[in-house]
Structure 1
Amino acid sequence: MGALLDQKYEKLFSLLDANGDGVIAEDDFTLMAGRVRASFSEERAAKGETYADEMMNYWRALRDTADADGDGRIDRDEFRQALHQVSDRFDTLIGPLYQAGFHLADRDDDGRVGREDFIAVLVAIGVPADEAGATFDRLAERDGQLTKDQLMTAATLYYRDENPDNAASHLFFGAL
């Protein structure tokens, strides 16, 4: 794994450590899912439930792959060593979480997300609002909307791409 992926994985670790205790555990995923769900209205409650379910599926996949010592917590070293394996199975292990987040943010179910809702999700997981806005601006179409395909491509590249020229994927969760 190269230095760029290490930087991205470190950024991701810091976001997933939602309570800031230096390890990733189930309570971090519960906390993050709650923050994301709270950032949207009650009318999206069913979508929020799906998002929370996918967040827990992501936790279980990560735990099963990364928790080498079986203590129910993932430290930075365990995370770095295992994330490449998890990212190789992005479509089945990680992709559903991103799809659920997209559907939660897709206010009218038209397959497109606006800037405000995209930023709301990223801010809820810990990305500063200005960086979340910059991410949206890099990814969105000229009409100011983001499609699920655009989101999924950028998310997949975040986990896998090491080309330093591809800022749209590297800066998915803000500055590294």
Structure 2
Amino acid sequence: MGALLNQKYEKLFSLLDINGDGVIAEDDFELMANRVLAAANEERTAKGQKYADAMMNYWRALRETADVDGDGRIDQEEFRQALGRVSVNFDTLVGPLYQAGFQLADRDDDGLVGKQEFVTVLAAIGVPATEAGATFDGLTEQSGQLSKERFMTASAQYYRNEDPADNASHLLFGAL
């Protein structure tokens, strides 16, 4: 694994460690889901529950892959090593969370997300609003809307791509 992927994985770990205790655990994922749902003004109705369930499925996939000592917590090194394995199965293990997050931001269910909705969700997970806005601008085309397809491609590339020329996906969760 190269330096760029390591940087991205460190960034993602820092966002997932909601309580800042240096490890990620189930409670971090529960806190994250609740924080994002609150920011999106979404109850645990169908759309909100789908997001919360996807967040917990992501946690379970990480725990099964990374929690070598079985203590229910994943430190940064366990996380880094596991993400390489989990990202191979992005479409089934990680992708559903990103799809549910996109659908949460897609308030009118038209398959497109505007800048404010995108920034709201990313800010809720800990990305500074200015960085989330810059990410949105890098991902969108002339329409000023982000398509689900473009978002999912960038999300998968965040986990896999080490080409430094692809800034939009590298900066998905803000500056590295």
TM class, shorter-chain normalised?
Answer: over 0.9
CA–CA distance in structure 2, aligned partners of residues 14 and 79 of structure 1: 11
Report the Cα offset of residue 44 of structure 1. 7.9
Instruction: Write the deviation string for residues 28-47 of structure 1: whole angstroms up to 9, x where unpaired.
Output: 00000000000123478421
Instruction: Name the CA distance, whole Å, in 1 between partners of 2:43 and 2:26.
Output: 26
Match of 1:50 in 2: 50
- Correspondence for 1:64: 64
**Equivalents in 1 of 2:117, 2:96: separation in Å?**
18
Q: Is the 8 A contact 2:54 2:97 kept in 1?
A: yes
Equivalent pair of 1:44/1:104 in contact (CA under 8 Å): no
Rounded Cα–Cα distance in structure 2 between residues aligned with 1:113 and 1:174: 18
Does structure 1 retain, via aligned residues, the 8 Å contact 2:57–2:93?
A: yes
| 2:172 corresponding residue in structure 1 | 172
Q: Distance in 2 between matches of 1:4 and 1:105?
A: 28
Q: Which amino acid letter does the alignment assign opposite residue 25 of structure 2? A: A
Q: Tell me how far 1:156 sits from its aligned partner.
A: 0.3
Paired residue for 1:117? Answer: 117
Structure 2 CA distance for aligned equivalents of residues 95 and 143 of structure 1: 24
Q: How does 1:157-168 map to 2 (within 5 A)?
A: 157-168=157-168
RMSD: 1.1
Distance 1:16 1:43 in 2: 21
**TM-score, normalization: structure 1?**
0.97
Distance change (3 Å), C-alpha of 1:103 and 1:2 = same
1:23–1:73 CA contact under 8 A, matched in 2: yes
Aligned residues: 176
- Contact 1:35–1:125 (CA<8 Å) still a contact in 2? yes
- Stretches (4+) displaced over 3 A: 42-45
CA contact (8 A) 2:47 2:103 kept: yes
2: CA distance between counterparts of 1:148 and 1:118? 11
Percent identity, aligned pairs only, is 73
The TM-score, its normalising length taken from structure 2, stands at: 0.97
